Structure 1
Amino acid sequence: MACVLAEHAKLKRTLARGLAIAAPVCAVLLSLFVLANLDTLAASKGMPRWQAYLDTLLRIWASFLLPIMATLQAVLIAQLEHANRQWKYLLALPVSRTSLYMAKSVNLFGLLLLAHVVLWVLALVACAAFGLAPGALGEAAVFLSRQLGATFAAALALAAVQLLVSIRLESFVGAIGVGLVATLVALLGAGTMGQAAGYFPWSMPIHALQPVSPAWMAGAVLAAVLVTALGAQVLRRMQVH
């Protein structure tokens, strides 16, 4: 817990917290462009206006903004030590390396949760402000909670992989490059991946918006746990020069 609190305090020196607010705001702003053709979109999908709007918003979020945000947050958390050459000092402390890695993971997952909560609030505010769900705001809130809960659980594996990459790669550009390339692969290959999209970390959030089995969701969370455990082992054996 002391490590978690220390990492939380160190986040004040990064943009990671700001990204947890800025990314949901950007998602909502981008989704407003669909309002001009919302009636046509709702009719084509056979959905109420509020559901068609939220479905578009969630796809913008899960396909692009969420993976990019998670990538940047993981890199920023790792760069606290890489950029300032603090690994020697940090690893010399009388604290297990596993605790240090878990503290970074907990803070990263907490930032993801914060971003999803902010998006939940902003999306409902948008629905109310534009009169998209008259008399159905509660139904919209339940739908949004279910879908955002699914994208959050699916994004944990992505965040865990990106944190491991960011810890292992000292280069800021290299770590971001891995996330950007993987996000582009997920975007451009979404139509050709088929069922494999459900097992590629960067496409798992958008895959989670489809009806998925409880076993798949449990597997996504388990994958995040296993990758985090692997990352802790990598840090335990990492040589610092």
Structure 2
Amino acid sequence: MGLLDGKVAFVTGAGSGIGSESAILLAAEGATVVLSGRRHEPLEAVAATIAGHGGKAVARALDISSRQEIVEVIAAVEREVGTVDILVNNAGSASKVLNARFLSEEEWNATINVNLTAVFNLTQAVLPAMIARGEGTIITVSSLAALNPNLLGGAAYGAAKAGVRNFMGFLHNTYRNQGIRATTILPGETDTPIMNNRARPPLPEERAVMLEAHDVARAVLLCASLRAGAMIPELHICPTRQRDISVDLETARWIGAPNDTPDRPRS
């Protein structure tokens, strides 16, 4: 008998990395997992993996930057699968330009929308049914960039992750006595495909000292599977070893800088 038998879990960014690992662990404990992400093919691959281990999963393509799509997909899930017991807000993205000095408003807004506004929209979509049942779990994967913002994640990413941490705190303080558990998980550097989009993609030996997606997924499962009377408001998880990121920061500082920027280093 699994810890999550009979539960429905909705996981964003479930096609790879932390999202796929979390979905697999939740399904292994008996949850029916709804896998959401931008591309259907990776979701189907994760669903097949879950089914191969005897679990239950449904793939739903979703653009989380669209409030209308979120509302429609959650409504369809409630009709066809069941009301969402566990929402895992995992999907995220960082801007390509990281320095606030050169960051465009368009890229700022896009980053805030995916990392913060989408969490608000998804939460608002599932919250009424959770309140009506008197229980529900909302887990958001933020980042230690919320506490230590720098050029590694960038100005927009750090601000969004700090904002979502604050929003989850609001949910905890406002709805805990209605049975709603709101948890923020703040991971440090994690070796996931998003690392390939860094200004300077980490070398294999640098990735080797990072967290693995499975580490963070285990934290997600812990927070989701506690008995209803217990919850973890916030959980920090970081690599044991701290790597030197000075080269990364200097590289990120100049992404997007005009060629005629007076203080830009010349190669």
TM, length-normalised to structure 1 = 0.32
Q: Point out which structure has higher relative CO (alpha carbons under 8 A, 6+ apart).
A: 1
Higher percent of residues as strand: 2
